[in-house]
Amino acid sequence: MLQAIYSNNKTKLIMLSYLSIAVQARRIKPVLFAIFFLTLTFYSTEFFVGEAYARETQEVTILKAQGKQRVEQDNFMVLSPPHSVYNKKISLSRLKWSEICLLPADISEQRSPEKFVSFTNWLASFKDNAIRKGLSAATVHSALKNVHLIDRVVQLDRKQAEYALSFTNYINKAISIARIQRGQRKIQENAAILRKIHRKYGVSSEILIALWGLESDFGRFTGNFSTLNTLATLAYEGRRHNFFANELLCALTMLDFDSENITVEQMTGSWAGAMGQPQFMPSTFQYYATDGNGDGKKDIWQNTSDVLASAANYLYTLGWKKKEPWGIEVILPRDFAPYQAKLSVEKTLAQWRSLGVKKPNGKELRLQGTGRNDSVKGSIILPAGLAGPAFLVFHNFRIIREWNRSINYAVAVGYLADRVAGGPPLTRLDPQQDKNLSRQNALMIQTVLASMGYYKDKIDGMVGIKSREAIRQYQRDKGIPADGYPSDSLISRLRHERL
């Protein structure tokens, strides 16, 4: 065992071997024995702490998104094993918080939430559970002493822009000429930082600027909701109880394990609990935020280097491919079967080209900067139906959706990045054709399709990817072009199905 421990240090090995022999032979004096004993204790302690450190290094290599995620080691200060006792304590504390604060992928199979008669009762139960998991009682009670239910948060949760607005209106609202120009200025102002980040993580400057712009308008609007209040409200309210209860635990681990740099007052953000300029959820902050300027802090509220480096580290860890685009706008042939326009259908570039898919200008479908690379796989999506723009999206589009699951959001990020880089506007955006879907109609669509066996998820008034797939199945069975789009004609037809 000694050789395994000190294989890189012969002096320690010889000394400890001599100690073992001397103790057995009883040839050393008591004082000398004491010196050797203390030395052995020190190095043994160092070894076992180092072993715990090594185990923690393995445990923070989290697999998310079906095993495609890799956590970059230097985000956890493990470029080389730390030698100070202080740093080893930090490492061990990280091991502890990672057992309390889970990644969203690790909580999806948890049981249904227990019912409580009031928010006060729920909060008392949550506090007890947090302390049982290992959080400091002082931190839990201090942080949550003024937490209260916010009705406005519940209302906002019912009408998220990504689902309430049509694709066309969402894009027009999210991406303006002014925002494109600000993004171009931000690239110039932060050129040195962005070059360094690109070398390290492989994420383009335009993508990072687009995310920054959409999340907080480049830091101008980060939200003024109390993070603890919003998370507690959404955890109690119940639509996504397990998710938000875990995020509240993660927020408490931030306060418990990094109280010198993070305070309750500092933890403000959106109505959904997202914090700082990149709008990270607490779990995202704990696992992916990183120190971009070497000052020993991870300040996503004020420090631009930390904001951009943390965003890049997040995408890189999820599996960002350096040389692939997020996607491109395309035009489809007249005989294109829209049922295959969904993320679950992937074909190579060559296969899509053979089906008649072309660039918007009518030219042959090719990717810039990747050679011919006809083997690159992608999916066709139609966020505004057959009457709207079509996109061929690749692996990195799926990575953006790990940041935000909305199709509209992911397209907006890629499109804004393209515009900041000097790309052209989208074609076929028609707000008269692509209208907002009311909550009433969304609920009706889900209810009718559920009664017919097409829709099997929660009826929540948010027409996302599962609702679109249910629409697509219904359209196919009825002989309608199956683009999954909730058009006026589809809404009228479903109303008659209900009668």
Asked if 462 contacts 436 with a C-beta cutoff of 8 angstroms, the reply is: no
100 vs 106: CA distance, rounded Å: 11
> Angle at the Cα of 309 (from 412 to 215), degrees rounded to 5?
30
H or E segment and range at residue 357: none
pLDDT per 10-residue tile (average), the chain, 499 residues: 39 46 48 49 42 37 36 33 36 69 77 76 96 94 95 82 82 97 98 97 98 97 96 88 95 89 91 96 96 94 97 98 95 96 96 96 82 85 96 98 95 98 93 91 96 94 92 96 96 89
| Residue bearing tokens 């190095």 | 43
Q: What is the pLDDT at residue 112? A: 55
Q: What Rg do the C-alpha atoms of the chain give, in angstroms?
A: 27
- Using CA atoms, how far residue 108 sits from 25, 101, 202, in Å, is 60, 14, 30
Tokens of 473: 């199945």
pLDDT at position 342? 96
Question: From its phi and psi, is residue 339 left (phi > 0), alpha (psi between -120 and 50) or beta?
Answer: alpha
Q: What are phi and psi of 222, to 5 degrees?
A: -105, -5
How would you label 131-144 residue by residue, b for 16+ Cβ within 10 Å and e otherwise? bebebbeebbeebb
Q: What is the pLDDT of residue 237?
A: 86
Q: How many residues comprise the chain?
A: 499
Query: Which pLDDT belongs to residue 371?
Result: 54
Strand partners, 269: 225, 275
CB 222 within 8 A of CB 307: no
Beta bridge partners of 378: 347
| pLDDT value at residue 47 | 38
- Dihedral in degrees, nearest 10, Cα atoms 24, 26, 30, 31: -70
292: helix, strand or coil: coil
Max Cα distance, the chain (Å): 99
| pLDDT score for 87 | 40
pTM score, whole prediction: 0.80
Look at phi and psi of residue 217 and say left if phi exceeds 0, alpha if psi is from -120 to 50, else beta.
left
Query: How far is 146 from 149, CA to CA, in rounded Å?
Result: 10
